[in-house]
Protein backbone atom coordinates (compact mmCIF):
# COMPACT_ATOMS: atom_id res chain seq x y z
CA UNK A 1 0.00 0.00 0.00
CA UNK A 2 1.34 3.43 -0.98
CA UNK A 3 0.51 6.78 0.64
CA UNK A 4 1.67 10.36 0.24
CA UNK A 5 3.89 11.07 3.23
CA UNK A 6 4.07 14.72 4.30
CA UNK A 7 7.30 13.88 6.13
CA UNK A 8 9.12 12.95 2.90
CA UNK A 9 6.95 14.92 0.46
CA UNK A 10 6.53 11.84 -1.71
CA UNK A 11 4.45 8.70 -2.08
CA UNK A 12 5.97 6.02 0.14
CA UNK A 13 5.33 2.33 0.57
CA UNK A 14 3.75 1.55 3.93
CA UNK A 15 5.94 -0.68 6.10
CA UNK A 16 4.22 -1.22 9.48
CA UNK A 17 6.55 -1.70 12.42
CA UNK A 18 4.63 -4.76 13.63
CA UNK A 19 2.66 -6.03 10.64
CA UNK A 20 -0.10 -7.00 10.26
CA UNK A 21 -0.91 -4.44 12.97
CA UNK A 22 -0.83 -0.82 11.82
CA UNK A 23 -0.95 1.96 14.41
CA UNK A 24 -2.94 5.01 13.32
CA UNK A 25 -3.57 8.23 15.21
CA UNK A 26 -6.12 10.81 14.05
CA UNK A 27 -6.45 14.32 15.42
CA UNK A 28 -10.07 14.42 16.48
CA UNK A 29 -12.60 17.18 17.17
CA UNK A 30 -12.51 20.04 19.66
CA UNK A 31 -15.98 19.57 21.12
CA UNK A 32 -17.09 23.14 21.77
CA UNK A 33 -19.55 23.37 18.85
CA UNK A 34 -21.21 21.31 16.13
CA UNK A 35 -19.02 19.70 13.46
CA UNK A 36 -19.40 21.12 9.95
CA UNK A 37 -18.88 19.46 6.57
CA UNK A 38 -15.22 20.50 6.44
CA UNK A 39 -14.62 18.32 9.48
CA UNK A 40 -16.61 15.47 8.01
CA UNK A 41 -14.67 15.52 4.72
CA UNK A 42 -11.55 14.85 6.79
CA UNK A 43 -12.98 12.12 9.01
CA UNK A 44 -14.60 10.26 6.10
CA UNK A 45 -11.21 10.28 4.38
CA UNK A 46 -9.47 8.75 7.38
CA UNK A 47 -12.25 6.19 7.65
CA UNK A 48 -11.35 5.28 4.05
CA UNK A 49 -7.75 4.82 5.17
CA UNK A 50 -8.86 2.39 7.87
CA UNK A 51 -11.15 0.49 5.48
CA UNK A 52 -8.37 0.18 2.91
CA UNK A 53 -5.90 -1.09 5.48
CA UNK A 54 -8.44 -3.70 6.54
CA UNK A 55 -9.16 -4.73 2.95
CA UNK A 56 -5.41 -5.11 2.40
CA UNK A 57 -5.14 -7.73 5.12
CA UNK A 58 -3.76 -5.39 7.76
CA UNK A 59 -5.11 -4.82 11.27
CA UNK A 60 -5.34 -1.12 12.10
CA UNK A 61 -5.13 -0.06 15.73
CA UNK A 62 -6.81 3.33 15.54
CA UNK A 63 -6.80 6.08 18.14
CA UNK A 64 -8.75 9.34 17.82
CA UNK A 65 -8.61 12.03 20.47
CA UNK A 66 -11.47 14.21 21.65
CA UNK A 67 -10.16 17.62 22.65
CA UNK A 68 -12.34 18.70 25.56
CA UNK A 69 -9.85 21.10 27.16
CA UNK A 70 -6.80 23.17 26.32
CA UNK A 71 -7.47 24.27 22.73
CA UNK A 72 -7.15 28.06 22.80
CA UNK A 73 -8.69 30.25 20.13
CA UNK A 74 -5.20 31.31 18.99
CA UNK A 75 -2.33 29.09 17.88
CA UNK A 76 -0.08 31.62 19.64
CA UNK A 77 -1.42 30.29 22.97
CA UNK A 78 -3.46 33.43 23.50
CA UNK A 79 -7.14 33.97 24.10
CA UNK A 80 -9.83 31.88 25.69
CA UNK A 81 -10.06 28.11 25.86
CA UNK A 82 -12.60 27.08 23.20
CA UNK A 83 -14.52 24.98 25.74
CA UNK A 84 -14.72 27.90 28.18
CA UNK A 85 -15.85 30.11 25.30
CA UNK A 86 -18.56 27.60 24.39
CA UNK A 87 -19.69 27.46 28.00
CA UNK A 88 -19.98 31.24 28.18
CA UNK A 89 -21.91 31.30 24.89
CA UNK A 90 -24.44 28.72 26.02
CA UNK A 91 -24.70 29.44 29.72
CA UNK A 92 -23.47 25.97 30.65
CA UNK A 93 -20.36 24.55 32.25
CA UNK A 94 -17.44 23.56 30.04
CA UNK A 95 -18.04 19.96 31.09
CA UNK A 96 -21.65 20.10 29.90
CA UNK A 97 -20.63 21.67 26.59
CA UNK A 98 -17.98 19.01 26.00
CA UNK A 99 -20.35 16.17 26.83
CA UNK A 100 -23.10 17.49 24.55
CA UNK A 101 -20.96 18.13 21.48
CA UNK A 102 -18.90 14.96 21.91
CA UNK A 103 -22.13 12.92 21.92
CA UNK A 104 -23.37 14.79 18.84
CA UNK A 105 -20.08 14.14 17.04
CA UNK A 106 -20.21 10.41 17.79
CA UNK A 107 -23.84 10.20 16.64
CA UNK A 108 -23.01 11.84 13.32
CA UNK A 109 -19.94 9.62 12.91
CA UNK A 110 -22.27 6.63 13.04
CA UNK A 111 -24.73 8.21 10.60
CA UNK A 112 -21.88 8.68 8.10
CA UNK A 113 -20.77 5.04 8.51
CA UNK A 114 -17.43 6.12 9.95
CA UNK A 115 -16.06 3.19 11.90
CA UNK A 116 -15.49 3.59 15.62
CA UNK A 117 -11.77 3.87 16.47
CA UNK A 118 -10.29 1.28 18.81
CA UNK A 119 -9.73 4.07 21.31
CA UNK A 120 -11.64 7.38 21.56
CA UNK A 121 -9.53 9.26 24.08
CA UNK A 122 -10.57 12.41 25.92
CA UNK A 123 -7.94 14.93 26.99
CA UNK A 124 -9.64 15.42 30.36
CA UNK A 125 -9.30 11.70 31.11
CA UNK A 126 -5.54 11.71 30.49
CA UNK A 127 -4.28 14.60 32.61
CA UNK A 128 -1.75 12.43 34.54
CA UNK A 129 -0.20 11.20 31.29
CA UNK A 130 0.15 14.76 30.01
CA UNK A 131 1.73 15.97 33.27
CA UNK A 132 4.16 13.05 33.18
CA UNK A 133 5.22 13.90 29.62
CA UNK A 134 5.79 17.54 30.55
CA UNK A 135 7.90 16.40 33.51
CA UNK A 136 10.07 14.34 31.17
CA UNK A 137 10.55 17.37 28.92
CA UNK A 138 11.40 19.45 31.98
CA UNK A 139 13.99 16.91 33.12
CA UNK A 140 15.64 17.05 29.70
CA UNK A 141 15.83 20.86 29.77
CA UNK A 142 13.25 21.66 27.09
CA UNK A 143 10.90 23.78 29.22
CA UNK A 144 10.77 27.14 30.96
CA UNK A 145 8.16 28.90 33.07
CA UNK A 146 6.70 32.37 32.52
CA UNK A 147 3.75 34.18 34.05
CA UNK A 148 1.01 32.27 32.24
CA UNK A 149 2.43 28.76 32.03
CA UNK A 150 5.08 26.18 31.23
CA UNK A 151 6.48 26.53 27.70
CA UNK A 152 8.49 24.39 25.31
CA UNK A 153 11.71 26.04 24.12
CA UNK A 154 11.75 25.29 20.39
CA UNK A 155 15.32 26.56 20.07
CA UNK A 156 16.40 23.44 22.00
CA UNK A 157 15.05 21.21 19.20
CA UNK A 158 17.21 21.85 16.10
CA UNK A 159 14.88 20.02 13.71
CA UNK A 160 11.84 22.08 14.73
CA UNK A 161 11.39 23.73 11.31
CA UNK A 162 12.00 20.63 9.20
CA UNK A 163 8.56 19.03 9.05
CA UNK A 164 6.65 22.11 7.91
CA UNK A 165 9.64 23.69 6.08
CA UNK A 166 9.28 26.76 8.29
CA UNK A 167 11.35 29.90 7.80
CA UNK A 168 12.18 30.68 11.42
CA UNK A 169 14.15 33.82 10.57
CA UNK A 170 11.12 35.27 8.83
CA UNK A 171 8.96 34.39 11.82
CA UNK A 172 11.43 36.05 14.13
CA UNK A 173 11.10 39.16 11.98
CA UNK A 174 7.40 39.27 12.77
CA UNK A 175 5.59 37.11 10.21
CA UNK A 176 4.25 35.02 13.05
CA UNK A 177 2.73 37.43 15.54
CA UNK A 178 4.06 37.07 19.05
CA UNK A 179 1.65 38.40 21.62
CA UNK A 180 3.45 37.12 24.72
CA UNK A 181 6.67 39.08 25.08
CA UNK A 182 7.92 36.70 27.78
CA UNK A 183 8.29 33.85 25.29
CA UNK A 184 11.88 33.22 24.26
CA UNK A 185 10.96 32.43 20.65
CA UNK A 186 7.83 33.16 18.60
CA UNK A 187 7.43 29.43 17.94
CA UNK A 188 7.54 28.40 21.62
CA UNK A 189 4.27 26.85 22.76
CA UNK A 190 2.45 26.17 26.01
CA UNK A 191 2.63 22.76 27.61
CA UNK A 192 0.70 23.76 30.74
CA UNK A 193 -1.32 26.95 31.21
CA UNK A 194 -1.92 28.48 34.62
CA UNK A 195 -5.46 29.31 35.66
CA UNK A 196 -6.05 33.07 35.97
CA UNK A 197 -5.45 34.20 39.54
CA UNK A 198 -8.69 36.17 39.67
CA UNK A 199 -11.07 33.41 38.57
CA UNK A 200 -11.74 29.70 38.81
CA UNK A 201 -12.07 27.79 35.58
CA UNK A 202 -14.56 24.95 35.04
CA UNK A 203 -11.68 22.71 34.03
CA UNK A 204 -8.47 22.94 36.04
CA UNK A 205 -6.13 20.54 37.80
CA UNK A 206 -3.32 20.53 40.30
CA UNK A 207 0.15 20.10 38.81
CA UNK A 208 3.80 20.38 39.92
CA UNK A 209 3.78 23.91 38.44
CA UNK A 210 0.48 25.14 39.82
CA UNK A 211 -3.25 24.89 39.16
CA UNK A 212 -4.08 25.00 35.49
CA UNK A 213 -4.77 22.94 32.39
CA UNK A 214 -2.76 21.30 29.59
CA UNK A 215 -1.96 22.88 26.26
CA UNK A 216 -3.61 21.55 23.13
CA UNK A 217 -0.53 19.92 21.60
CA UNK A 218 0.63 17.85 24.57
CA UNK A 219 -2.55 15.78 24.68
CA UNK A 220 -1.99 14.18 21.27
CA UNK A 221 1.56 13.13 22.11
CA UNK A 222 0.62 11.77 25.52
CA UNK A 223 -2.42 9.81 24.40
CA UNK A 224 -1.01 8.46 21.13
CA UNK A 225 2.12 7.16 22.83
CA UNK A 226 0.11 5.63 25.67
CA UNK A 227 -2.00 3.52 23.33
CA UNK A 228 0.21 3.12 20.24
CA UNK A 229 3.82 3.30 21.43
CA UNK A 230 6.62 5.82 20.96
CA UNK A 231 6.62 5.61 17.13
CA UNK A 232 3.37 5.54 15.16
CA UNK A 233 2.98 3.95 11.75
CA UNK A 234 0.58 6.65 10.53
CA UNK A 235 -0.52 10.02 11.91
CA UNK A 236 -3.42 11.80 10.18
CA UNK A 237 -4.99 15.25 10.36
CA UNK A 238 -5.95 18.36 8.45
CA UNK A 239 -3.46 20.27 6.31
CA UNK A 240 -3.86 23.27 8.62
CA UNK A 241 -2.23 21.22 11.41
CA UNK A 242 1.13 21.00 9.64
CA UNK A 243 2.84 24.30 10.61
CA UNK A 244 1.85 24.41 14.30
CA UNK A 245 0.02 21.50 15.88
CA UNK A 246 1.82 18.63 14.17
CA UNK A 247 5.15 20.44 14.20
CA UNK A 248 4.76 20.85 17.97
CA UNK A 249 3.73 17.24 18.45
CA UNK A 250 6.90 16.10 16.71
CA UNK A 251 9.11 18.45 18.73
CA UNK A 252 7.81 17.44 22.14
CA UNK A 253 7.51 13.71 21.38
CA UNK A 254 10.91 13.24 19.77
CA UNK A 255 12.60 15.37 22.44
CA UNK A 256 11.42 12.82 25.02
CA UNK A 257 11.93 9.56 23.13
CA UNK A 258 14.78 10.32 20.73
CA UNK A 259 12.80 8.33 18.13
CA UNK A 260 10.68 9.33 15.11
CA UNK A 261 7.22 10.20 16.34
CA UNK A 262 5.47 8.88 13.22
CA UNK A 263 6.82 7.21 10.10
CA UNK A 264 4.01 8.45 7.85
CA UNK A 265 1.98 11.65 8.03
CA UNK A 266 -1.22 12.05 6.00
CA UNK A 267 -3.02 15.37 5.63
CA UNK A 268 -6.44 16.17 4.22
CA UNK A 269 -6.68 19.35 2.18
CA UNK A 270 -9.16 22.21 2.64
CA UNK A 271 -12.78 22.22 1.49
CA UNK A 272 -13.93 25.36 -0.33
CA UNK A 273 -17.49 26.64 -0.54
CA UNK A 274 -17.87 29.14 -3.38
CA UNK A 275 -14.13 29.66 -3.37
CA UNK A 276 -13.91 30.35 0.37
CA UNK A 277 -12.62 28.22 3.22
CA UNK A 278 -15.23 27.28 5.81
CA UNK A 279 -15.44 29.73 8.69
CA UNK A 280 -18.06 30.98 11.10
CA UNK A 281 -17.45 34.59 10.11
CA UNK A 282 -18.55 33.78 6.55
CA UNK A 283 -21.56 31.83 7.77
CA UNK A 284 -20.73 28.84 5.56
CA UNK A 285 -20.30 26.18 8.24
CA UNK A 286 -22.81 23.77 6.72
CA UNK A 287 -23.85 20.93 9.01
CA UNK A 288 -25.20 17.46 8.26
CA UNK A 289 -28.53 18.68 9.62
CA UNK A 290 -28.64 21.29 6.82
CA UNK A 291 -27.99 18.61 4.20
CA UNK A 292 -30.77 16.35 5.43
CA UNK A 293 -33.14 19.33 5.65
CA UNK A 294 -32.79 19.68 1.86
CA UNK A 295 -33.83 16.06 1.37
CA UNK A 296 -30.34 14.81 0.54
CA UNK A 297 -29.15 11.59 2.14
CA UNK A 298 -25.94 11.31 4.14
CA UNK A 299 -24.94 8.41 1.87
CA UNK A 300 -25.00 10.94 -0.97
CA UNK A 301 -22.81 13.29 1.07
CA UNK A 302 -20.34 10.50 1.76
CA UNK A 303 -20.30 9.69 -1.95
CA UNK A 304 -19.65 13.36 -2.71
CA UNK A 305 -16.65 13.34 -0.35
CA UNK A 306 -15.21 10.31 -2.15
CA UNK A 307 -15.52 12.09 -5.50
CA UNK A 308 -12.44 14.16 -4.63
CA UNK A 309 -8.98 13.01 -3.57
CA UNK A 310 -7.98 13.71 0.02
CA UNK A 311 -4.97 15.76 -1.09
CA UNK A 312 -6.96 17.92 -3.51
CA UNK A 313 -8.57 21.21 -2.53
CA UNK A 314 -12.17 20.05 -2.67
CA UNK A 315 -15.06 22.23 -3.76
CA UNK A 316 -18.48 21.85 -2.18
CA UNK A 317 -21.69 23.13 -3.72
CA UNK A 318 -25.33 22.20 -3.39
CA UNK A 319 -25.37 21.46 -7.12
CA UNK A 320 -22.54 18.95 -6.83
CA UNK A 321 -24.19 17.37 -3.79
CA UNK A 322 -27.46 16.99 -5.73
CA UNK A 323 -25.48 15.38 -8.55
CA UNK A 324 -24.03 12.93 -6.03
CA UNK A 325 -27.59 12.14 -4.88
CA UNK A 326 -28.52 11.36 -8.49
CA UNK A 327 -25.38 9.26 -8.90
CA UNK A 328 -26.28 7.29 -5.80
CA UNK A 329 -29.79 6.71 -7.12
CA UNK A 330 -28.27 5.42 -10.37
CA UNK A 331 -26.14 2.96 -8.42
CA UNK A 332 -29.19 1.73 -6.52
CA UNK A 333 -31.18 1.37 -9.73
CA UNK A 334 -28.48 -0.97 -10.97
CA UNK A 335 -28.28 -2.77 -7.59
CA UNK A 336 -32.02 -3.49 -7.80
CA UNK A 337 -31.18 -5.93 -10.62
CA UNK A 338 -30.34 -8.36 -7.81
CA UNK A 339 -34.08 -9.02 -7.50
CA UNK A 340 -34.78 -8.98 -11.24
CA UNK A 341 -32.30 -11.47 -12.68
CA UNK A 342 -33.31 -13.22 -15.88
CA UNK A 343 -32.67 -16.77 -17.07
CA UNK A 344 -32.26 -16.32 -20.83
CA UNK A 345 -29.05 -17.36 -22.55
CA UNK A 346 -26.47 -14.57 -22.71
CA UNK A 347 -22.99 -14.23 -24.11
CA UNK A 348 -21.89 -11.52 -21.63
CA UNK A 349 -21.58 -11.53 -17.87
CA UNK A 350 -20.64 -8.71 -15.51
CA UNK A 351 -17.04 -8.96 -14.31
CA UNK A 352 -17.48 -8.11 -10.63
CA UNK A 353 -14.11 -9.59 -9.68
CA UNK A 354 -12.26 -7.21 -12.00
CA UNK A 355 -14.21 -4.25 -10.60
CA UNK A 356 -13.32 -5.24 -7.04
CA UNK A 357 -9.65 -5.46 -7.97
CA UNK A 358 -9.72 -2.07 -9.69
CA UNK A 359 -11.35 -0.43 -6.65
CA UNK A 360 -8.90 -1.98 -4.19
CA UNK A 361 -5.87 -1.07 -6.31
CA UNK A 362 -7.09 2.53 -6.64
CA UNK A 363 -7.40 2.83 -2.86
CA UNK A 364 -4.09 1.11 -2.19
CA UNK A 365 -2.45 3.72 -4.42
CA UNK A 366 -2.75 6.72 -2.08
CA UNK A 367 -6.50 6.39 -1.44
CA UNK A 368 -7.52 7.44 -4.95
CA UNK A 369 -11.24 7.43 -4.25
CA UNK A 370 -12.24 9.11 -7.56
CA UNK A 371 -10.67 6.19 -9.47
CA UNK A 372 -12.42 3.73 -7.16
CA UNK A 373 -15.76 5.39 -7.91
CA UNK A 374 -15.00 5.32 -11.63
CA UNK A 375 -14.59 1.54 -11.43
CA UNK A 376 -17.84 1.27 -9.47
CA UNK A 377 -19.67 3.46 -11.99
CA UNK A 378 -18.44 1.33 -14.90
CA UNK A 379 -19.75 -1.84 -13.27
CA UNK A 380 -23.11 -0.34 -12.34
CA UNK A 381 -23.64 1.29 -15.74
CA UNK A 382 -22.99 -2.05 -17.43
CA UNK A 383 -25.38 -3.76 -15.02
CA UNK A 384 -28.15 -1.24 -15.61
CA UNK A 385 -27.77 -1.51 -19.37
CA UNK A 386 -27.34 -5.28 -19.70
CA UNK A 387 -29.25 -6.62 -16.71
CA UNK A 388 -28.25 -9.50 -14.46
CA UNK A 389 -28.21 -13.15 -15.43
CA UNK A 390 -29.62 -15.34 -12.66
CA UNK A 391 -26.32 -17.24 -12.43
CA UNK A 392 -24.67 -14.07 -11.10
CA UNK A 393 -27.02 -13.12 -8.26
CA UNK A 394 -24.54 -14.45 -5.70
CA UNK A 395 -21.71 -12.46 -7.30
CA UNK A 396 -23.74 -9.24 -7.25
CA UNK A 397 -24.72 -9.81 -3.63
CA UNK A 398 -21.04 -10.24 -2.70
CA UNK A 399 -20.09 -7.21 -4.78
CA UNK A 400 -22.60 -4.98 -2.98
CA UNK A 401 -21.28 -6.22 0.37
CA UNK A 402 -17.75 -5.44 -0.82
CA UNK A 403 -18.78 -1.88 -1.73
CA UNK A 404 -20.38 -1.34 1.67
CA UNK A 405 -17.30 -2.72 3.44
CA UNK A 406 -14.64 -0.81 1.51
CA UNK A 407 -16.47 2.44 0.63
CA UNK A 408 -18.91 2.63 3.52
CA UNK A 409 -21.87 3.12 1.18
CA UNK A 410 -24.87 0.81 1.37
CA UNK A 411 -26.26 0.16 -2.12
CA UNK A 412 -28.48 -2.77 -1.12
CA UNK A 413 -32.10 -2.49 -2.17
CA UNK A 414 -34.93 -4.58 -0.65
CA UNK A 415 -37.14 -6.56 -3.00
CA UNK A 416 -40.59 -5.23 -3.75
CA UNK A 417 -43.69 -7.02 -2.45
CA UNK A 418 -45.70 -9.66 -4.28
CA UNK A 419 -48.57 -7.18 -4.56
CA UNK A 420 -46.29 -4.66 -6.26
CA UNK A 421 -45.02 -7.32 -8.63
CA UNK A 422 -48.64 -8.10 -9.50
CA UNK A 423 -49.20 -4.41 -10.31
CA UNK A 424 -46.16 -4.53 -12.60
CA UNK A 425 -47.56 -7.56 -14.43
CA UNK A 426 -50.94 -5.87 -14.76
CA UNK A 427 -49.22 -2.82 -16.21
CA UNK A 428 -47.30 -5.03 -18.62
CA UNK A 429 -50.57 -6.57 -19.79
CA UNK A 430 -52.10 -3.08 -20.18
CA UNK A 431 -49.15 -1.95 -22.30
CA UNK A 432 -49.44 -5.07 -24.45
CA UNK A 433 -53.09 -4.23 -24.99
CA UNK A 434 -52.14 -0.58 -25.69
CA UNK A 435 -54.36 0.46 -22.77
CA UNK A 436 -52.22 3.51 -21.98
CA UNK A 437 -54.65 5.01 -19.48
CA UNK A 438 -54.54 1.91 -17.27
CA UNK A 439 -50.80 1.61 -17.81
CA UNK A 440 -50.23 5.17 -16.61
CA UNK A 441 -52.55 4.71 -13.64
CA UNK A 442 -50.63 1.62 -12.51
CA UNK A 443 -47.30 3.41 -12.98
CA UNK A 444 -48.58 6.28 -10.81
CA UNK A 445 -49.86 3.82 -8.20
CA UNK A 446 -46.43 2.20 -7.95
CA UNK A 447 -44.75 5.60 -7.84
CA UNK A 448 -46.96 6.48 -4.90
CA UNK A 449 -45.48 3.45 -3.15
CA UNK A 450 -41.92 4.57 -3.89
CA UNK A 451 -41.39 2.30 -6.92
CA UNK A 452 -40.10 3.74 -10.19
CA UNK A 453 -40.26 1.91 -13.52
CA UNK A 454 -37.77 1.83 -16.37
CA UNK A 455 -39.13 0.64 -19.72
CA UNK A 456 -36.54 -0.82 -22.09
CA UNK A 457 -36.60 -2.78 -25.34
CA UNK A 458 -36.02 -5.98 -23.33
CA UNK A 459 -38.67 -5.30 -20.70
CA UNK A 460 -39.48 -3.21 -17.62
CA UNK A 461 -37.36 -2.99 -14.52
CA UNK A 462 -38.14 -1.32 -11.20
CA UNK A 463 -36.12 0.80 -8.84
CA UNK A 464 -36.74 2.61 -5.56
CA UNK A 465 -37.54 6.30 -5.77
Q: Give the chain as a 3 state SS string.
A: CEEEECCCCEEEECCCCECCEEEEEECCCECCCCCCHHHHHHHHHHHHHHHHHHHCCCEEEEEEEEECCCCECCCCCCCCEHHHHHHHHHCCCHHHHHHHHHHHHHHHHHHCCCCCCCEEEEHHHCHHHHHHHHHHHHHCCCEEEECCEEEECHHHCCCCCCCCCCCHHHHHHHHCCCCCCCCCCCCCEEEEEECCCCCCCCCCECCCCCCEEECHHHHHHHHHHHHHCCCEEEEEEEHHHHHHHHHHHHHHHHHHHCCCCEEEEEEECCEEECCEECCHHHCCCCCHHHHHHCCCCHHHHHHHHHCCCCCCCEEECHHHHHHHHHHHHHHHHHHHHHHCCECCCCCCCCCHHHHHHHHHHHHHECCCHHHHHHHHHHHHHHHHHHCCEHHHHHHHHHHHHHHHHHHCCCCCCCCCCHHHHHHHHHHHHHHHCCCHHHHHHHHHHHHHCCEEEEEECCEEEEEEC
Which pLDDT score is estimated for 172?
Answer: 62
Tens of pLDDT along 306-329?
999 999 999 999 999 999 999 999
Residue 241 has pLDDT above 50, yes or no: yes
Please give the class, per CATH, of domain 2-268: alpha beta
Which pLDDT score is estimated for 171?
Answer: 61
Confidence of residue 179 (pLDDT cuts 50, 70, 90): low
What is the average pLDDT across 67-87?
Answer: 86
Poorest-confidence range of 29-43, 110-124, 161-175, 451-465?
Answer: 161-175
Residue 174 has pLDDT above 70, yes or no: no
Confidence of residue 175 (pLDDT cuts 50, 70, 90): very low
Residue 33 has pLDDT above 90, yes or no: yes
What is the average pLDDT across 264-284?
Answer: 83
What is the average pLDDT across 181-201?
Answer: 91
Mean pLDDT of the chain: 92
Residue 159 has pLDDT above 80, yes or no: yes
Share of the chain above pLDDT 70, in %: 95
The pTM score is: 0.93
Amino acid sequence: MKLYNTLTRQIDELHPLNAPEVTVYTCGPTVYDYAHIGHWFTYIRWDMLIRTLQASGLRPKWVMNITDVGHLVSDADEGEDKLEKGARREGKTAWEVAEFYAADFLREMSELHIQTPNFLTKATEHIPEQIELIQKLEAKGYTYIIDDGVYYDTAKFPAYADFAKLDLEEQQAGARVEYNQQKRNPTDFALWKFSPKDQQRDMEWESPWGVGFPGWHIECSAMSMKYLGETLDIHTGGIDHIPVHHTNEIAQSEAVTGKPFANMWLHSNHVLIEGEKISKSLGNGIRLHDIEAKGISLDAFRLHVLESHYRSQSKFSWESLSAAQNRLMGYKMAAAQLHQAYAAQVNEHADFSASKQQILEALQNDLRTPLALAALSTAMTWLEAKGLHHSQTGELHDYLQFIETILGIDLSVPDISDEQKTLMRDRHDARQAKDWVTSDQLRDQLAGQGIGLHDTASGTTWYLL
